[in-house]
Amino acid sequence: MPSKAQLLWMYEAMEKARYYEDTMATVYMEGKQPKFDIGAGTVPGEMHLAAGQEPCAAGVCVHLRPEDTVTAPHRPHHVAIAKGVDLNRMTAEIFGKKSGLSGGRGGHMHLFDPAVNFACSGIIAEGTGPAVGAALAAKLKGSDAISVSYIGEGAANQGATHEALNLAGLWKLPVVFVIEDNAWGISVPKSKATAIADTSQRAAGYGMPGHHVADNDTLALFEVAGEAVARARRGEGPSLIEVETYRYYGHFQGDPELYRPKGEVEALKAKDPIERLRKAMLEGGEITAEEADAARDRARQEVDEAYAFARAADYPAPEEALTHVFA
Amino acid sequence: MSSNRQLTVSRAMAEAIALEMRTDPSVFVMGEDIGTYGGIFGATAGLLDEFGEERVRDTPISETGFIGAGVGAAMAGMRPIVELMFVDFFGVCMDSIYNLAAKNTYFSGGNCKVPMVIMTATGGGYSDAGQHSQTLHATFAHLPGMKVVAPSNAYDAKGLMAAAIRDDSPVVFMFHKGLQGLAWMASPEEAATAVPEEAYTLPFGEARVVRAGKDVTLVTLSMMVHRAMDAARALEKDGIDAEVIDLRSLVPLDRETILQSVAKTGRLVVVDEDYRSYGLTAEVIASVVEKDPGLLKAPPQRLAVPDVPIPYSRPMEQFVLPNAETIAAATRITLGKAG
């Protein structure tokens, strides 16, 4: 069972991530109305929002330390937030500003914060190998740091995933693979993309334990992830966790979602994981509504400040495009 | 009425595929989100409804697997069209493309053929950063065994797609996202054109002189045709008469049309949305110089992405991409009219 501090930490991280994404959904439409143009506005380019997937981030990252490495895919904000990525500089990066994490070179799909060992990539499953490599480095250096590789359920069918799982299992590396199963690979449902229903069964083929977390359950994931992280830290090798989670928004903002059954999102929202966690916390009796509200308000204030920071920041000079190609 | 029917590039591509599928049962399509969604960039819209799931197959995110499967199906007598959603994703599946699709004909001594189309979206300009914004024209054109086309408008897209499907060699069909005429991405008006309803093909390796001119030759393809035309219109106001050539295909490359034009103008500007070094711009200039260095009255100019990954932030991205102003400026330099 999580401690009171852990509960409040997860709740605050999830509220922060949700508010961050809902704010982004609004900001993203600035300058894109009445005619939607993906290249226009305050935040141009593709935008993949993770509202609904907060348990995957908070339920795992609560067990991590800054020295642990996390790799995330193209839908990275909730994980970055839970890993402790600098929110001001992350938001400035997404706004394409000079004070962003990468001076505006990377943007939303390419966030790097070496201070907390976070990186993400826009190419499906391509974070798996680097997570294995970071775990190998930790092992070679005699550290007990671990790696967590986040992928979607679609990425579980990509070659890189299978190769990385085998390497991690073969070399008994301290990696936790987390599959965020939001049921959709853009428009393709999991049932039409994956040969088995429970992808965590694939763990057996790579010599590691597999865990399945049903229905976006933060507290169940907390337990399973705690076990997997502790196992990795003890040097006993990798684990694979698949979490059934929810995607509230489209694949990208502007996705017409014609493929999505009517009412699906509403049904998911009716069992919202943040509401469920809050209810469980309060029913547990250790946490008061006032404490939860304070955590939520703190989270939202931090997000508001990050957006204000990003708005006020300057754009880079065009010529800065030519720097940092090489170290 | 039908002869003046306007289509976007994406509609033209989908129509070309549908026409071939109606007449040739060996043609089928597979890729990510090409079924219900109709292709993220619209190139397969409507095909699932007409032809069903057997011939219009959504795939898992498994490019090595399904492009390799395309190679196998092609060698087994089918004519697969596979979509690689963004060309930038080639990194996960290039072996299937350049070691199998491109080489099996040769390594079999011509006894096997691989009649497949790999269609893939290219191009930036909308702040999607360098894992989703490259064109990579030269990467594919450099490797022997693949024909490579990159149309600039709907008429060409339909004819080149039909030719690609009917070709017995693998063809990489590179379509620029910003030309597709999508509801959610700006597109030049000239990319949508009148398109005949019936099937037709266009030959590979035949460039099109988009605008005849006598003072300077602008050679380019895909999106940059539209940027070069904008530049040519601006230059016209200064009394400069630019000839604009749309190559349409990189492999084969229509060197003859380039040479004829440069023989007339004596001045050459090459524009490419790909990286600068080791690319199309160098190939075109080398093709002229190899033939006759005396054709050029002034050093040629080239515009391309200056050997940096495409950055995300708008001011930096716009800085690295060629545009009408930078093309016009380079053209003035070749004419000694800079500054």
pLDDT digit string, tens, across residues B92-135: 999 999 999 999 999 999 999 999 999 999 999 999 999 999 99
pLDDT at residue B2, as a whole number = 53
State the count of interchain CB pairs (< 8 A) between A and B. Answer: 147
| CA–CA distance, A91 with A307 (Å, rounded to integer) | 6
Listed by start position, the domains of chain A span 4-313
Evaluate whether B2-194 and B208-334 have a shared fold.
yes
> Which pLDDT does position B3 carry in this prediction?
65
Contact B129 A105 (CB under 8 A): yes
Best residue of B312, B318, B320, B321 to probe chain A, by most A CBs closer than 10 Å: B312
Question: Angle B66-A154-B139 (CA atoms, 0-180°, nearest 5)?
Answer: 50
Classify residue B264 as left (phi > 0), alpha (psi -120 to 50) or beta.
Answer: alpha
Give domain limits for chain B: 2-194, 208-334
Q: What is the pLDDT of residue B337?
A: 87
CB contact under 8 A, B32 and A126: no
In terms of Cα–Cα distance, which of B276, B63, B249, B50 is closest to B169?
B249
Interface test with chain B among A33, A38, A319, by most B beta carbons within 10 Å: A38
- Predicted complex: ipTM over 0.85: yes
Report CB contact under 8 Å: A188, B92: no
Residues in chain A with CB shorter than 8 Å from the CB of B64 are 159
Q: Answer whether residue B1 shows pLDDT above 80.
A: no
What local confidence, expressed as pLDDT, does residue B169 receive? 98
Longest dimension (CA), chain A: 57
Choose among B37, B62, B308: nearest Cβ to A157. Answer: B62
Show residues of chain A in contact with B40, CB under 8 Å: 186
Give CATH for domain B208-334: 3.40.50.920
Check whether B298 has a pLDDT greater than 50: yes
Q: Is B132 a catalytic residue?
A: yes
Candidate list B20, B63, B83, B283, residue with the active-site label? B63
Tell me the chain B residues in contact with residue A36 when contact means C-beta distances shorter than 8 Å.
183-184
Quick one: which of A232, A129, A127 has its CA closest to A174?
Answer: A232
B189 included as an active-site residue: no
Whether the pLDDT of residue B273 is over 80: the answer is: yes
A107 vs B contacts (CB less than 8 Å): 127-129, 312-313
Residues (pLDDT < 70) of chain A are none
CATH topology of domain A4-313: Rossmann fold (3.40.50)
Nearest-by-Cβ selection for A39 from B59, B186, B320:
B186
| Mean pLDDT in residue range B194-217 | 98
Examine the pLDDT at B40 and tell me if it is beyond 70.
yes
CB proximity A143 to B under 8 Å: no
C-beta atoms of B60 and A186 within 8 A = no
pLDDT of B4:
82
Contact (CB, 8 A) for B42 and B11: yes
Q: How far apart are CA B233 and CA B239, in angstroms?
A: 10
Instruction: Tell me the pLDDT band of B338, cut-offs 50, 70 and 90.
Output: confident
Q: Is CATH 3.40.50.970 what the domain over B2-194 is classified as, yes or no?
A: yes
Is residue B70 within 8 Å of residue B92, measured between CB atoms?
no
Which of B56, B185, B277, B314 is the mutation pick for testing A, counting most A CBs within 10 A? B314
Q: Can you give the three-state secondary structure of chain A, one letter per residue?
A: CCCHHHHHHHHHHHHHHHHHHHHHHHHHCCCCCCCCCCCCCCCCCCCCCCCCCHHHHHHHHCCCCCCCEEEECCCCHHHHHHHCCCHHHHHHHHCCCCCCCCCCCCCCCCCEECCCCEEECCCCCCCHHHHHHHHHHHHHHCCCCCEEEEEECCHHHCHHHHHHHHHHHHCCCCEEEEEEECCEECCEEHHHCCCCCCHHHHHHHHCCCEEEECCCCHHHHHHHHHHHHHHHHCCCCCEEEEEECCCCCCCCCCCCCCCCCCCHHHHHHCCCHHHHHHHHHHHHCCCCHHHHHHHHHHHHHHHHHHHHHHHHCCCCCHHHHHCCCCC
Contact across the interface for A104 and B40, Cβ inside 8 Å:
no
Whether the predicted pLDDT of B339 surpasses 90: no
Per-residue pLDDT reduced to its tens digit, A36-72: 999 999 999 999 999 999 999 999 999 999 999 999 9
Q: Is A104 on the interface with B (CB under 8 A)?
A: yes
